[in-house]
Structure 1
Amino acid sequence: MCCCLLNFGSEGTLLLSQQIMDIVGFLKSQFICHLLICYIFIVSGLIINFIQLLTLILWPINKQLFRRINCRLAYCISSQMVMLLEWWSGTDCTLYTDPESYHKYGKENAIVILNHNFEIDFLCGWNFCERFGVLGSSKVLAKKELSYMPIIGWMWYFLEIVFCKRKWEEDRKTVMQKLLNLRDYPENFWFLIHCEGTRFTEQKHEISMQVAEAKGLPKLKYHLLPRTKGFAVTVQCLRNVVSAVYDSTLNFRNNENPTLLGVLNGKKYHADLYVRRIPLEEVPEDEQECSNWLHKLYQEKDAFQEEYYRTGTYPAVPIVPPRRPWTLLNWLFWALLLLYPLFKLLINMINSGSSLTLASFAFVIVMASVGVRWMIGVTEINKGSTYGNNDNKQKQE
C-alpha cells in the first residue's frame, strides 16, 4: 500500500508540474506578455540612451571612464535580449571547443567570426559573449543604417561600434580609424564579424558561387563567399591588441530554424556552437595572404558544417558554460521600475471613464503592436538585407 501511495504521489506531482508548465507556456505565447516585454525594452532603452547622451560630457575629461560607464549601460540593453533567449525561452547552448582554449575565453580580446544562417544568430553571438562576461563591451561591424535605429543603434554609437556603408572605397578610411580607436579600450572586448556580409539564402548562395567560379575560388556548400577586405583591415588595425580569432560555427539541433518570434513565444531551442581559438600570430599580415587564409578557413567551416549535418556533433569537447543570473536580474529591475507606473496609469484611465482617454489608449496599443511586429520583422530572413542579391549585385572582394 505504501508503494501504491508513493507511486500515486509521484504521478500526481508530475501531473501538477506538467499542468504548471502548460500554463506558463500558454502565458508566454500571449500577445499581452509580448507587449509588456517590448514596453520594458523600449522605455528602458530610451532612458538608457538618454543617460548615454549625458555621459558625453565625460569624453574630453576622462575618455576611459566614459567607455567603462557605457559598457555597463549597454549591458542593461543588450542583456534584455539575451534574457529572452536564456530565461524566457530556456534555449540551451552547448559549446564545442578545446578545454585549454575555454579557460581563455573572456580573459582576452578576440575577433569572433560567425556564420550567418539563422534569424537569431546575432542573439546567440550575444549569448556567447554573456556567458564569458564581455557582452557589454562586445563590438560589431554593422551597416551604417543601424546607427540611426533608436535603442540598439544609438547604444552602439556610444560603444564606438564600427559602422560601414558596404562601399569599400568609402568605408576603408572610416573603418580603419574606428578600429584604431579601439586599441586603447579599457575593457576586454570581442569584435564580432560576419565575413559573409549578409545572411545566407539560396539565392545569395547561387550568386556568391558564380563569383567564386569566376575568380577560380573553391565553392562552398553551406556558406557565402567571405568578403575579405573588412577582415584583413580588422586584423591589421587590432594586431597586438587582439590575442586570437575565434572561428565560430552555429547550428541548431533537429534541423530547427529558430526565429525571434519563436523565442518571444517561449519556444525552447538547442544551439550547438563550435569555437576554434586561432592565435592571431597564425593570421598572415599581408592583405592578399590574409585573404587566402580566410578563404581556406571558410572551406574548413564548410567541412565542419557537413560533419554536423552528418553526425549531429562537432569534433571537440562539449561544454555547457554556466548561465549567469545578471541578465534576469537586470530585466527584473527594469520590470519592477516601469510596470508599476504603467499599471497605475491604466487604472486611472479606466476610472476616468473618458472616451477620448480610452480611445487614445487603444491607439497606443495598436501602435505598440505594430512596433513589436516591425522589430521582429527586422530579423526575418525573408525580409532581410538584399545585399548580395541580383538586384544589388556588387563585385565581391
Structure 2
Amino acid sequence: MANLLDLKDCWRKIRELYTTVVGFMRYVFGSVMMIGVAPEYLAIWLVWRGASLVFPSWIYQWGDDKLYSLYQRLVLFFFETCTNLEVVLYGDAVDALKKRESVLYLANHQSTVDWLVADMISVRGGSLGHLRYVMKNTLQLMPLYGHYFYAHGCIYVKRGKFSQNKMIQALDYLKHPKIPTWLVIFPEGTRYYPGNPDVIQKAEQYAKDNNLPVLKHHLVPKTRGMWLVSKQLHDKIDAIYDVSVFYDGTVDEQGIRGNAPQLVGFLTGKCKKVHVHIRRIPMSEVPREEEEVGKWLQELYRTKDELAENFFTQDNEKRNKVEKLLNGHKSSLSLWSTLSSFLFFSVLSVPFICTKVGRQMYINLLVYGSLGSYGWLAIRNVC
C-alpha cells in the first residue's frame, strides 16, 4: 500500500513538472511571437494606410479592423487555444452575441487579462476587429503598438484627469455610421486587487463619504468618462453590454478571494476556466444627463456586486454549482479560427528571419517605426 501511495505521489509530481515545463515553453514562445511580429504587422498596416489615403475614412477602418482581427486571433491562439481554456457564458450572452451591433462594453477590472476576455467575447460575436479601448496614457509607450492603438480608434486618457476636448475629438471619429465599434471601458479605472488592500479601503471610504453603495467585490466606478462616451455616442451605440468576468480558482478552499490571474499566470495555463456574464441593456434605457448617468452607473455596479457574490461566496456548494444555478453555457472556438492566424504570421516571418534584406527591414521597422510613432504621438498630444 505504501508503495502504491509513493507511486501515485511520484506520478502526480511528474504531471505537475510536465505542466510547468509546457506552460513555461508556451509563455516564452508565445511572448516572443506576439511581440516579435510587431514590425511585420506594422509593414502590412503601413501599406494599407498608404493605399487607403485616397478613400473615405470608413474604408481605411474596414481594412484596419480586418488586420486587427487577424492579429488578435494570434493572441487568442496562445491564450485560449493553447491553454485549452474553458469559457462559460451567462445571462444574455448567447442571444446578444448573435447580433451585429455597435456596443459600449462595460466590465469589471481585476486583471491584466481583462482586455483579452473582451477578445474572447467579441470574436464569438463576429466583432473582434471592432474592439476599441479607453486606455490609460502610459500604454502609448509600447513600441509600435502605442501608436497603432490610437490609429485603430482607441482613446488614451490620463488617470485622475483627462482632456475632455481630446476625448470628444476621438469619439467624434467613432460616430461614423459605417465604423462599427465595440468600445471597451473599465469604469473602476484601477484593478480590484486583494493583494493591494489600500486601494480597496480607499474606495470603500470614498463610497461612505459620498453616500454611495459600498461594494464588496468592486471599486467605486468613475462616472465622468462614461458620461462623455454616452453623450457623444448615444445615437450611435445600439446597446450597453454589462460584462462581469470571474476567473476560476480566484477563491481558495476557505472561501477567501485572492488575486485574479495576471498575464504570465494565464499564459502558463494556471487559469482553466473563465466565467462571463453579459447583461444587454438597450441604449434607449441609458439616461443622457451627467447626474443621471452617474446614478445609473452606481446602480449598475451595485447589481454587479450582487451577481459577483455567486462566484466569490464562501459557500463551496453554491460556488461549485454556479454554472447550473445561473444557466451557464460552455462556448468553444473552432481550432481554425485561431490556428489560421498563427500559420499566417509564421509564414510571414520566414522572409524576415531567413533573408538579409528581410532582417534589415525588420530592424529598420522596429527602430525607426518606434521613434516615428513616439514622435507622432508627442506632436499630436492625443490625451
TM-score relative to the length of structure 1: 0.74
Residue 232 to residue 91, structure 1, CA distance change in 2 (3 Å) = same
Is 1:42–1:151's contact at 8 Å kept on the other side of the alignment?
no
Which residue among 108, 112, 117 is the counterpart of 1:124?
A: 117
Of 34-43 and 297-306, deviating more is 34-43
Amino acid at match of 2:290: E
Which residue among 288, 313, 318 is the counterpart of 2:328?
A: 318
CA distance in 2: counterparts of 1:296 and 1:54, whole angstroms: 47
Which residue among 177, 194, 197 is the counterpart of 2:189?
A: 197
CA distance in 1: counterparts of 2:186 and 2:127, whole angstroms: 18
Does residue 292 of structure 2 align to residue 289 of structure 1?
yes
The corresponding residue for 1:62 is 56
Structure 1: tracts of 5 or more residues without a match: 1-17, 346-397
Of 193-202 and 332-341, deviating more is 332-341
Does residue 339 of structure 2 align to residue 328 of structure 1?
yes
The corresponding residue for 2:265 is 262
CA distance in 2: counterparts of 1:327 and 1:106, whole angstroms: 22
Give percent identity, aligned residues only: 24
CA distance in 1: counterparts of 2:36 and 2:285, whole angstroms: 45
Is 1:258–1:269's contact at 8 Å kept on the other side of the alignment?
no
The corresponding residue for 1:241 is 236
Of 321-330 and 105-114, deviating more is 321-330
CA distance in 1: counterparts of 2:338 and 2:234, whole angstroms: 32
> How many Å apart are 1:35 and its aligned residue?
3.7
Of 294-303 and 323-332, deviating more is 323-332
Larger-gyration structure (1/2):
1
Residue 59 to residue 128, structure 1, CA distance change in 2 (3 Å) = same
Which residue among 154, 159, 165 is the counterpart of 1:173?
A: 165
TM-score relative to the length of structure 2: 0.77
Is 1:45–1:77's contact at 8 Å kept on the other side of the alignment?
no
- Give 3-state SS (helix, strand or coil) of 1:48's partner: helix
Residue 103 to residue 283, structure 1, CA distance change in 2 (3 Å) = closer
Is 2:107–2:187's contact at 8 Å kept on the other side of the alignment?
yes
Residue 304 to residue 327, structure 1, CA distance change in 2 (3 Å) = same
> How many Å apart are 1:30 and its aligned residue?
4.2
RMSD: 2.8
Structure-to-structure mapping, 1:217-256, within 5 angstroms? 217-255=212-250
Structure 2: tracts of 5 or more residues without a match: 1-11, 252-259, 356-383
Name the count of aligned residue pairs: 324
CA distance in 2: counterparts of 1:279 and 1:196, whole angstroms: 22
Is 2:84–2:272's contact at 8 Å kept on the other side of the alignment?
yes
Residue 276 to residue 27, structure 1, CA distance change in 2 (3 Å) = same
Amino acid at match of 1:215: N
CA distance in 2: counterparts of 1:130 and 1:151, whole angstroms: 24
CA distance in 2: counterparts of 1:154 and 1:105, whole angstroms: 32
Residue 166 to residue 185, structure 1, CA distance change in 2 (3 Å) = farther
Is 2:248–2:271's contact at 8 Å kept on the other side of the alignment?
no
Is 1:98–1:317's contact at 8 Å kept on the other side of the alignment?
no
